[in-house]
Amino acid sequence: MRKERERMGSVGEDTDVVSFNIIDPPAAEFEPVSPKRMLLLAVVLMLGLGAGGAMAFIIHQLNPVFHDAKTLREVTGRPVLGVVSMTWLERHKIRRRVDFSSFAMASTSLIAVFVFTILLKDQLVGLMHTLIWQATG
């Protein structure tokens, strides 16, 4: 390799027309320098959950619900003349249970996928490198 460099360099110097330099190919690691991927995933998950909770709180504050006459009287400063209680039909009770169980399953799935990603990070990265290598090579 050195001999080839010398020969190519001397050819360029003899003609005084061409400047010829051999540059080594770039080399880079597969691991990113920054940010730390696991920390980034955890921060994004926490920020997403926090933003969702904050949005639910804001929506609740914009549309308040009073559960008893005393709270309504304290907030509005007006006398409450009567209260109509809510009776839940069986279909409403079933719908609330389905909604709650759907929310619980979605939350559990989110946490499970996060933990799965953290635990199998190295295997998933290796799989992605293999797939990319096969697709390009």
Model pLDDT, residue 22 = 67
Cis amide prior to 35 (ω within 30 degrees):
yes
Model pLDDT, residue 73 = 92
Tens-place pLDDT, residues 5-38 = 666 656 555 555 566 666 777 777 777 677 787 8
What are the structural domain ranges in the chain?
35-75, 102-137
Tens-place pLDDT, residues 83-122 = 888 788 999 999 999 999 999 999 999 999 988 888 888 7
pTM of the model: 0.53
Q: Collect all residues with Cβ–Cβ distance below 8 Å to 11 and sequence separation of at least 6.
A: 18, 20
The mean pLDDT of 71-85, rounded to a whole number, is 90
Model pLDDT, residue 46 = 92
pLDDT higher than threshold 90 for residue 55:
yes
pLDDT higher than threshold 80 for residue 42:
yes
